[in-house]
Amino acid sequence: MMKLLTRDTDYAVRALIFIGKEAKRENRMVTVDEIVRALKLPRALLRKLLQALSKSKILNSGKGKRGGFSLSKDPRKINISDIITIFQGPVDFTNCLLRNAPCPNRKICRVRKKILSLSRYVDSELKKITLASLT
């Protein structure tokens, strides 16, 4: 099946929405276990995802007791394209390979041109889907 969001991206977005909500209500760190209870995601996997978001500066993290995660910036400045980029690489539909080598027609190919502009449109739309717009 064709998909734009893989499971990692999907789960990460769900978790971010939850963290955003909780952090707004009470000003505090949200732990992995809270998210697991609320969203029923696999714990080990979620930990890995949140660690990646933390490395990518989307989340702040605190170790030790009272530790956890919180958004590192305004939810209006976190968008789906960013999250996809972290887990799936940049939103770019043009691969243009011929037997694992770059296709010689890259420059002139009309298919490429059309797919490229579609790709740019999709990315710009995904950038408009912010965490704030989902909450």
Partner DNA sequence: TTATAATGATACTAAAATAGTATCATTAAA
Partner DNA sequence: TTTAATGATACTATTTTAGTATCATTATAA
**Residue of 12, 15, 20, 68 that binds DNA (CB under 7 A):** 68
Give the binding site for a copy of itself (CB under 8 A).
1-5, 7, 10, 13-14, 40-42, 80, 84, 88-93, 95, 97-99, 110-111, 114-115, 118-119, 121-122, 125-126, 129, 133-134
Contact 85, 13 (CB under 8 A): no
Q: Which residues contact 80 (CB under 8 A, 6 or more apart)?
A: 5, 9, 13, 126, 127, 129, 130
Q: What is the footprint of DNA within residues 70-89 (CB under 7 A)?
A: 88
> Which pair of structure tokens corresponds to residue 80?
């789906």
32 binds, among a copy of itself, DNA, none (CB under 5 to 8 A by kind): DNA
| CA-based torsion, 94, 96, 12, 27: positive or negative | negative
Q: Which of 65, 107, 108, 110 binds DNA (CB under 7 A)?
A: 65
